Structure 1
Amino acid sequence: MHPLDVVRTRFQVNDGRIANLPTYKNTPHALLTIARSEGLRGLYAGFYPAVLGSSVSWGLFFLFYSRAKRRYSRDGEEKLSPGLHLAAAAEAGALVSCCTNPVWLIKTRLQLQTPLHQTRQYSGVYGWTALYRGIWPSLFLVSHGAIQFTAYEELRKLLIHLKSKKTKGDGADEVLNSVDYTVLGASSKVAATLCTYPFQQRPNADGVPRYADTLHAVKETARFEGVRGFYKGITANLLKNVPASAVTFVVYENVLKLFKLTRTKDR
């Protein structure tokens, strides 16, 4: 799914005023153009930082999120209100942003290198300067993860309740399967993306500072591009991240089940 992430990034940063980035009509056109002009290497620009960032981010997020839920739960059970789920996910997202911002910065810069650049400034995961640029917008966007996990938890509770009536199961392990987790992961990701996508601030891809801050970026985008400017690249974003989210939750929930079964047998 990584080529779609490259397309999303390029759509987000191109506001029509950047001379050194090509213009794409839509997602298929972008994929074909990049493949023709840059080859497979262009479609997988920033791949290694993306793999590293995703692996570390998801691992840390689930760690911080589970601990936050435990801390917020007074009776030791995972029966939290939507507000507490939101708080736990936001806390986890903020901690993950602080840990992984340098990796995502490098990935984005590698993805924005095109043949139109006179020189290729970065050849790998090095070039450690200004590694925490964009950290404040990144911290602001923890709302994305907070909304996604709150939607996931609430939809999960609803699905367990509905299926328990039919199967008379005792809990999530008995009534939910991989198909259910796929639907939950995908639908929660769609909800989070639709709510927060317009607030993803775009970097100054050509090195010329055009946005003084987030509010200035919002004003300039609305002025020059209208409402469509806030949703550039959303098709590629959904095509990449919805399946990825579904797979992540299916793997996570099934691995948890496996661990529980192993512990039960050991006892």
Structure 2
Amino acid sequence: MSGGVSQLKDEGSQRQVAVAGAVAGLVSRFVIAPLDVIKIRLQLQVHSLSDPLSVRNINGPVYKGTLGTLKHILREEGLTGLWKGNIPAEAMYLAYGSIQFSAYTYVSHVLDAIPAPYTPPASANSFLAGAAAGAVATTATYPLDLLRTRFAAQGPDRVYASILASVRHIAAHEGPKGFFRGLGAGVSQIVPYMGLFFTSYEGLKPIAASSALPLPFGTSDAAAGIVASVLAKTAVYPLDTIRKRLQVQGPMRLKYVHRNIPVYAGVMKTLAHIWMHEGRRGLYRGLTVSLLKAAPASAVTMWTYERTMDALLALEEKLEE
């Protein structure tokens, strides 16, 4: 068993892991909220200015690039437009971070308990534990993720008056299944993403820590998190776009800032529709800002998690003394 794997999963109790994960999720969300709104707007856009014939009969804004989208939102909706959906997103990140790290350590210990010679190798342990943690956390927090997307998709005209109003409307007009639109794409995305992320992170962390150019203040954790996140995010990004398109389906579909979002049904049909009408580019809309978002988000998440865990362990040791 490599030292990197055992270090992350063996530090602290389940309660400490949950607290550190929750704090890491909250801090990370606060930092990257504006980039998240820009990414969602680009993902939901069926056309862009650089596409041929794309601006014909378009009802709603046409964004071009990260900076263009940023300027458009600031001009049309003000600074607060960059923080739409932040309340359900903060709640989601709080719960997600806690569940994710708790599930990761739990599954890792379960895999470690498998007797030899069936004990999985370190890389397989990290992949399986990360994938399981991502699936559990995604499913448990998915309604909050859906609300985050719908609020971020609102333009100057509000679709839902409040979070409570949105919950009531979805429950009344779409039923319980309405809160889980696109869950299949979400789980299909997060399983390989978290598996690849934790595998890369556990492998890169000791390398970054023992680098000939040591990084100060524990930033080797952040560096490992950045590289791991970029690799994993790029691999599964089309599924993220599909998830976003499915999340805004329903009776309010034509009221979001992009009023020409097509009707989609199912992961494979959505994939086929985007590929046919928008090409490969359509599946990767917003990838640049997604990577810009993913890098600091993962860096902040892992750095905050490690620092919070250190503080909790130090507090526990002090109390024991």
TM-score by length of 1: 0.85
RMSD: 2.7
Q: Deviations over 1:146-181 (max 9, x none)?
A: 211111112224446x46xx8xxxxxxxx9951211
Partner of 1:178, secondary structure, is helix
Aligned residue-pair number: 252
Higher mean C-alpha displacement, 220-229 vs 143-152:
220-229
Matched-pair contact (CA < 8 Å) for 1:8–1:233:
yes
Instruction: Return structure 1 stretches of 4+ with deviation > 6 angstroms.
Output: none
- Give distance in 2, aligned partners of 1:186 and 1:21: 34
**Residue in structure 2 matched with residue 87 of structure 1 by the alignment:** 128
How far did 1:140 drift? 1.0
Work out whether residues 21 and 114 of structure 1, in 8 Å CA contact, stay in contact via their aligned partners in 2: no
Distance apart, 1:211 and its partner CA? 2.3
Tell me the equivalent position of 1:110: 151
Deviation at 1:107, TM superposition (A): 0.8
Q: CA deviation at 1:225?
A: 2.1
Q: 1:135 aligns with which of 173, 183, 186?
A: 183
Alignment of 1:8-19 (within 5 A): 8-16=39-47, 19=58
Distance 2:271 2:85 in 1: 27
| Gaps in structure 2 of 5+ consecutive residues | 1-31, 48-53, 171-177, 255-260
Task: Check conservation: 2:237, 2:284, Cα contact below 8 A.
Answer: yes
* CA distance in 1: counterparts of 2:59 and 2:108, whole angstroms: 46
Residue in 2 aligned with 1:171? Answer: none
Amino acid corresponding to residue 197 of structure 2 in structure 1: Q
Q: Structure 2 length as normaliser, TM-score?
A: 0.71
Gaps of 5+ in 1: 167-174
Q: Is the 8 A contact 1:198 1:230 kept in 2?
A: yes
Larger CA deviation: 22-31 vs 139-148: 139-148
Counterpart of 2:131 in 1: which secondary structure? helix
Q: Which residue of 1 aligns with 2:193?
A: 144
2:208/2:223 contact within 8 Å kept: no
2:265 alignment partner in structure 1: 212
Counterparts of 1:151 and 1:241, CA distance in 2 = 14
Q: Distance in 2 between matches of 1:250 and 1:153?
A: 14
User: 2:73·2:81 contact (CA, 8 Å) conserved in 1?
Assistant: yes
1:5 aligns with 2:36: yes
Deviation at residue 63 of structure 1 after TM alignment: 0.8
User: Identity of counterpart residues, as a percentage?
Assistant: 29
Aligned equivalents of 1:177 and 1:45: distance in 2? 33
